[in-house]
Structure 1
Amino acid sequence: MTAGSEKNTADAERKEMTSGASSRARLRAIDLHAHIIVPEVYALAAQHNVFSELPTDPGVTDEMRRNIKERAATVLARMSDVTERIGNMDMMGVGVQVLSASLVHQGLEWADAQTSLRLARMTNDWIVKAVALHPSRLVGFGTLPLHVPALAVSELERCVRELGFKGVAISTTAGPMELGDTQLRPFWGKAEELEAIIFIHPGGNRDRRFKRFHLWNSVGQAFEEAMAISSLMYDGVLETFPSLKICISHGGGYMPYYMGRIDRNYVEKANTRINMRKPPIEYLRMLYFDSCVYDRAVLQHLVDKVGAERVLLGSDYPVGETKPIEFVAETDTLSAAQKEAIVRANAAALLGLPNS
């Protein structure tokens, strides 16, 4: 094949994926990373979320503050308005969105046991109603009071058995606990038993080093995801529960891109492998990752590292990748089969949806 014919083939693949001959052809994509808020829950959680802790930046003018406030109002409205969501999905070419609560906006770790359970149930009941309005377009992931493990287990079971959710979204930590903490073993065991998908997304990094320049978001989110994967590996969760279905947001944060050093430590430092029976890269390939990485070279590296079958479309709606399908389609180093797998086939298989 000549360079010109290769370019023509790539152009044709992009055109087919991003435009399509009909609305049915266009709306095939499955977006696994899309957020909601429940206004009543958010009203309480907003007093405790990461935004409430950000110091006033003297470099921000009054006009900037007004713009930030207006943008925040738009984002919050888009997360709670189901009608607008469907319209935006149509414009993006997304056929199905998987709804999960924005843990940055309305995480529950600040609340006591019973309050967090009540708010989790309010959120999950809201998602059920949203899905019922558009059952062919929306799929639900529940939310849990993960910092209270016993209640998290019971609500996980309700989410799957009673509400019909395909899985749940959790933060990268559970209060003071890392995800590999022994107190969370019953949760992981129940998730494996129920074959529930666990979508891991940060709730906002509170470290003082990340408070300036919005670093909690630009740098801190990927750091949290890397730490979550580290705990799942090193604390033996993936070894103990090998059938878990776990998807990490934002392409897994920093972890997939620095595995050489991590694998080296596994070989050279015996204490790093006390809960592992194989190199870290092999555990990494047991996980799923979304495509919301904002850099096509990074997406290609992720595919090279874990395989296209482990990567799922993710937009981070309504604040992330506004053209998630084009982002994948225009990654010319990916094959047509890999693009199709990422945009729909992988998520369809994971969620038990028809791949058509």
Structure 2
Amino acid sequence: MIDVHAHWLPRDLLALPPGNPLGGMNDRDGELFLGDAPLAFPTAAMTDIDTIVADTREAGLGARVISAPPFAFPVHAPAEADDYVASFNEQLADAVSGADGTLAGLGLVRLDDLAAARRELTRLAAAEGIAGIAVPPVVDGRSYDRGVPRQVLGAAAELGLSVLVHPMQLPRAEWDHHYLVNLIGNPVETTTAVAGVLLGGVLEELPGLRICFVHGGGCAPSLLGRWEHGWRSRDDVRRGSSRPPADSFGLLYFDTVTHDPEVLTLLRAHASPDRIVCGSDYPFDMAQPAPAGFPVDHGIDAATLEANGRRFLGLPPADAQQRPGES
């Protein structure tokens, strides 16, 4: 089984990209901090490839797909982040190529400049073990129904690269307590991106796009009926798409990090059965416990998850090539 949602960042990039307001990540006696806030896991779980491989095997997974933590997305001063992005992508390619097929990677790109993004996408497409990119759901108040972010999806689809959409915990005053910036903010960010893709007609334009929304798609499964009603009732809702949102919903990939069997059941009621993939959010404290066991225990068999993960990543079926994901 392949876990498509896990994180890694080399130690020399813990300072985070230029302009980042969070104070950088830092190691304190083996524990990782974001600024002065403890992240509640060992630094090695984020930075050390041998540790990640060992933890992958201990979790009963055949493979993991690693991407940068969302703090490392180059969105705050993107024009100054080219060196950071290039360094991450180069080190990611080196890391996964040396992991004996246990790891694959999703690289970084800028989302403000199509030429800069295409340059990195082209390099990533040529790198062994790199399956695509990880991106935030919202950039400067926009999502993937317009502007450069939408164009980046087009370039990724053209190059056969997968796209994993991961929230950033964007701050809002009403979410400054009880960790609501994560508990509410993350699902809302993801939901915004799902709506943008569906109602913006992205999949009509890019039918070959492989795009996955983490955390079970956030609130999207519970709002799909509302979107469907709005699309049928209002000209402004259906202006950007030729298909009702429920028709396109089945073309999106979603991971299994829902923390609730009933939410996973709701996701399965709306998503296509060949578009649900195993996820963990390793190594964060909000990670899904037992990422391999949780979906299997609640009705999704391991072979289906394996096949779906390979399909999302653009890999051949397991019987054609045993790694990554060999059990």
Is the pair's TM-score, using the shorter chain for normalization, greater than 0.5?
yes
Q: Which has the higher helix share?
A: 1
Distance 1:117 1:175, change over 3 A: farther
Distance 1:164 1:32, change over 3 A: closer
Matched, 1:284 2:246: no
**Residue of structure 2 aligned with 1:238, choices 173, 179, 203:** 203
Partner of 1:349: 311
In the alignment, structure 2 segments of 5+ residues that lack a partner are 25-32, 320-327
TM-score by length of 1: 0.80
Matched, 1:226 2:191: yes
Aligned residues: 307
TM-score by length of 2: 0.87
Partner of 1:128: 93
Matched ranges for 1:1-356 at <5 A? 29-45=1-17, 48-49=20-21, 71-72=38-39, 74-103=41-70, 105-113=71-79, 115-162=80-127, 165-319=130-284, 320-331=287-298, 334=299, 338-351=300-313, 352-356=315-319
Q: Does the residue aligned with 1:43 lie in a helix, a strand or coil?
A: coil
Give the whole-Å Cα distance in 2 for the aligned partners of 1:221 and 1:165.
25
Shift of 1:305: 1.0
- Determine what percentage of the aligned residue pairs are the same residue: 27
More displaced, 205-214 or 86-95?
205-214
Distance 1:302 1:50, change over 3 A: farther
Shift of 1:98: 0.5
Indicate if the aligned counterparts of 2:255 and 2:277 stay in contact, CA closer than 8 A.
yes
Give the whole-Å Cα distance in 1 for the aligned partners of 2:232 and 2:10.
47
User: Which amino acid in 2 is paired with 1:145?
Assistant: R
Shift of 1:164: 5.1
Give the whole-Å Cα distance in 2 for the aligned partners of 1:69 and 1:128.
30
Shift of 1:226: 0.3
In the alignment, structure 1 segments of 5+ residues that lack a partner are 1-28, 53-65
User: Which amino acid in 1 is paired with 2:13?
Assistant: V
Deviation string 1:11-64 (CA, Å, 9 cap, x unpaired) is xxxxxxxxxxxxxxxxxx110001011222221449725588xxxxxxxxxxxx
Shift of 1:229: 0.9
Distance 1:301 1:51, change over 3 A: farther
Cα RMSD (Å) of the superposition? 2.3
User: Which amino acid in 2 is paired with 1:40?
Assistant: D
User: Which amino acid in 1 is paired with 2:111?
Assistant: L
Shift of 1:178: 2.0
More displaced, 180-189 or 247-256?
180-189
Distance 1:163 1:329, change over 3 A: closer
Partner of 1:20: none
Shift of 1:285: 1.1
Shift of 1:353: 4.2
User: Which runs of at least 4 in structure 1 moved beyond 6 Å after TM superposition?
Assistant: none
Q: Does the residue aligned with 2:105 lie in a helix, a strand or coil?
A: strand
Give the whole-Å Cα distance in 2 for the aligned partners of 1:76 and 1:149.
34
